[in-house]
Amino acid sequence: MSSRREISLAERKRQLVADELTEAALQALALKGFDAVTVDEIVTAAGVSKRTFFRYFASKEDVVVQFLAGMGTDIRAELAARPATERPSEALRHAVWVPLGQCADHGERALRVVRLILRTPALHARFLERQAEWRDDLAEELARRLGLDAEAELYPRLAAGMALNAFDTVLHRWSASDGAEDPAALTDRAFTVVAPALDARAGRGA
Q: What are the pLDDT digits (tens) for 91-136?
A: 999 999 998 998 888 778 888 888 888 888 888 998 898 899 999 9
Average pLDDT over residues 158-168: 96
pLDDT above 50: residue 81 = yes
pLDDT averaged over the chain?
85
DSSP code for 179: T
- Rounded CA gap, 110 and 21, in Å? 16
pLDDT in tens, 41-71: 888 888 888 888 888 888 888 888 777 778 8
pLDDT at position 163 is 96
Straight-line distance from the first to the last Cα atom of the chain, in angstroms, rounded to the nearest whole number: 51
Domains of the chain and any CATH numbers:
1-57 (1.10.10.60), 60-200 (1.10.357.10)
